[in-house]
Homo-oligomer: A and B are copies of this chain.
């Protein structure tokens, strides 16, 4: 399977059964710096994973809500493991429209760029909160002990990425204010 949304979904379900809604939220709260999924991807993927036997729908015992809990199957687990162990992965660089603007701007644009860099900074600060929250929940919730070191490595990645960018904003604002 080369469908990455499937793998992300299987990954989340490898922790515990969840609904489509839960999966999106989980990814948002944990991996969002390097991986996100939208409902438009998740719900169709759940259906196809189920029909392929990688996950199964749990009986909802006493749930009033119209919710669908899915659990990973053995077939799903071995698929996940095969992917993790295979030596290939792709980096999709991502697109940063602000950087692109700056790249193509002239000194006459400087004045308009300042508030945009400030907005960017604000978005980064919001992300900082996500990590703080996640570090807390990793302590509280039952993240398996043998997974902690590796999960922490990914959090560290996110924290460092955000810190680096905040630092860059600071520097860049100083430059922009000099030009303006």
Contacts and interface: CB of A to CB of B under 8 A. Distances in A.
Interface of A: 4, 7-8, 10-11, 14, 30-36, 80-81, 83-85, 87, 89-107, 109-110, 112-113, 115-116, 119-120, 123, 144, 146-147, 149-151, 153-154, 156-157, 160-161, 164-165, 167-168, 171-172, 175, 179
A116 B97 contact: no
A38 to B, nearest CB: 12
A110 to B, nearest CB: 8
A108 B179 CA distance: 54
Contacts of A33: 93
Copies in the complex: 2
Given A102-B150, A168-B160, A94 B91 contact: yes
Nearest to A85: B112
B154 A102 contact: yes
Contacts of A98: 89, 91
A7 B154 CA distance: 33
